[in-house]
Structure 1
């Protein structure tokens, strides 16, 4: 390692140690005495010092008031806060507009009564605060907080903070109880029909349930009908039965699905259109996983291979717009899934058609390419450009219709 690189590493390590030391010192100084409390201590010291040096009785009175407030705050902040707490939610995974009930149980596991205190429960960016009365030995208090989800998110709830302090806000005693619980608010999805896109007659394909006359997976025999290909006649069975018998096969398709979502906010008119795109992306992915199709999801710089619909929806809950996201979504899709049989891209209404054409031109010709473009309020439509199909949806309920029309 060169000397400049070593010096840079040492400098970064020193800066990290300094930041950690500063945070520890800040926590130590404010753990029991608030910034207002430190200001009151400083005011008391200054006032008493000025009285001692200048003899101003006004400074003595102000200093004694500050000291009295500090002593009162010390007495009021004392008390037994040896609580035990737990957080339970009605559902860990919900959809938008579902109700969530959070039950917080605080109990006194000791033999002596506890003092009254205040509880602070963080729920995302919001805080729910409630009082905890004095609890006798082994007594408990349950508080239920209910809310209705209004948008897709990964919502952390907790940890519960118990605070015992004085009414002046000078001194406090805080304890962290109960670990954080995560609630996944899934996007709205709609049910879709079967996704039939795939590469037929592939050795790595999966059976589709359709019976055809030409494929790789033998299914059974049937009687000859005029127009059947004589190459499919099973001569041994025909000799035994005395009539021509035709071989039948179960259709197979390689159905590796690559699903990409554009997250550049410049491609969307507003946040509601972005949410429509996330819901369309989630609906297609859920349908692919329900069909046991191998799915590879690409969202910005994140590339995953979800094992089931629930895991995939958890990932969709965390999707956020990202400025500077790559304009050509096909680059990430090809880097991680070069042999997919279906490439599906979900983009916004401001995505130029020329960008979509360039994106589709880099993909394998053997694969099916579908681009779903969201445009709230627009009439649903389906256009075939040869190397890709462009589906336009004005609302989420348009998606099953346009996807069904592509079969």
Structure 2
């Protein structure tokens, strides 16, 4: 295959030869023939294609962003001639990584280790390996690609978080514990009526004493103790703030999983994940996810009106509208702790959040982690 230089070389040779013939300039004819001869020699040079097969292992298959990962290639000369070695190209996502292949005798094997970039989260295809041979002038390349490919899941970077902001939440029905109690629906407290509440839960004696409609706040101890809502809408973020938001969500999920806390993660694009899934599977989904063009944070929040609630509600979002804050205000009483984690440019940062809710407006995921952990000591 002609390279860009080879195509230019060939074109110049043809044009020069034609001009020499047309105008009768022997020097131009000789120069044109020389260029064509060099191109022909390059073609003959690469006729001996390297016959190299490769087996690949990605170690580890899953890695946290910034941690080391490697592609271990076992290459074998499957041809009859000795290969001179050189630089091959291994595909990595949309990029290509140079791989130095040593010279090999027929049937000889060698192991080549390549560091894989893990600075960005995502799911990356590793391979195939493109082994080429080029002439000394770089005019023509010839080679083949081995078919094997691997996969690397780069999970979001996470930060160490304390269990809950605003103090470690007490257990719903007794002493502090990271485990939900066994049992069904139990009485937790009294609270003011919210539209959508079951009218059968109205506590008439308390209503008469307070002059306000009061209902029994029952808690289903089988329900997740922590609910995380992740606003994935593209309209609310730029690339950086979205990546910070993903890291915040991954950090909350990881902190919950390490302490065996039950959690549920609901995204505005319709995705739902929970503690019932393996943590690696949850991280895989966070690794591959992107911003969504659809979804409505207000609708997700309104869907919690009939939810039995839990200990902690965390809303991770970018730019948020007043109508969505109003929806959050309608459901905050169902949770002991409500946190708004916002990642947005300063011009769009909330100045006021929701009453009795902790507002964490952060410039980065690191700032978020510091603010969250500081809040646990209040």
With normalisation by structure 2, the TM-score equals 0.67
Change (3 A) 1:192 1:253: farther
- Secondary structure of 1:85 counterpart: strand
Q: Secondary structure at the match of 1:162?
A: strand
**For 1:49, what is the secondary structure of its paired residue?**
helix
The Cα of 1:116 is off from its aligned counterpart by 3.6
Q: Does structure 2 conserve the Cα–Cα contact (< 8 Å) formed by 1:187 and 1:316? A: no
Which of 20, 24, 37 is matched with 1:51 structurally? 20
The alpha-carbon distance between structure 1 residues 42 and 375, as it changes in their structure 2 partners (threshold 3 A), is closer
**Distance in 1 of aligned mates of 2:185 and 2:29:** 104
SS in 1 for 2:51: coil
Residue 9 of structure 1 is matched in structure 2 by none
The residue aligned with 1:20 is none
Which residue does 1:208 correspond to in 2?
180
CA RMSD of aligned residues (A): 4.4
1:135-187 CA distance string (max 9 Å, x none): 11221222222367444444443221111111322211131123143231432
Of the three residues 138, 144, 147, the one matched with 1:175 is: 144
1:215 is displaced (CA, Å) by 6.4
1:192–1:403: 8 Å Cα contact kept in structure 2?
yes
Evaluate the alpha carbon distance shift between residue 336 and residue 375 of structure 1 in structure 2; reply closer, same or farther with a 3 A threshold: closer
Pair 1:305 & 2:273 matched: yes
The separation in 2 between residues aligned to 1:336 and 1:106, in whole angstroms, is 56
Note the residue ranges of structure 2 that are not aligned, 5 or more in a row: 174-178, 189-218, 347-351
1:87 equivalent in alignment to 2:56 = yes
- 2:371: which partner in 1? 398
Answer yes or no: is 1:279 the counterpart of 2:279: no
- Other structure's SS at 2:21 match: helix
Residues 210 and 251 in structure 1, CA contact (< 8 A), matched pair in contact too: no
Distance 1:72 1:120 in 2: 25
After superposition, the Cα gap between the structure-2 partners of 1:213 and 1:102, relative to the gap in structure 1 and judged at 3 Å, is: closer
1:97 is the counterpart of 2:69:
no
Larger radius of gyration: 1
State the alpha-carbon separation in 2 of the partners of residues 340 and 215 from structure 1: 11
Instruction: Report deviation, 1:212.
Output: 12
Tell me how far 1:198 sits from its aligned partner: 11
Once the 2 structures are TM-superposed, how far is the Cα of residue 310 of structure 1 from its aligned partner?
Answer: 1.1
Structure of greater relative contact order (alpha carbons < 8 Å, 6+ residues apart): 2
1:189 alignment partner in structure 2: 159
Tell me: CA distance 1:316–1:211, structure 2 relative to 1, closer, same or farther (3 Å). Answer: closer
Query: Quick check: 2:325–2:353 contact (8 Å CA) kept in 1?
Result: no
1:341 paired to 2:309: yes
Shift of 1:288: 4.8
Instruction: Tell me by how many angstroms 1:331 deviates.
Output: 2.6
1:235 equivalent in structure 2: none
SS in 2 for 1:99: coil
Give the alignment's TM-score, normalised by structure 1.
0.63
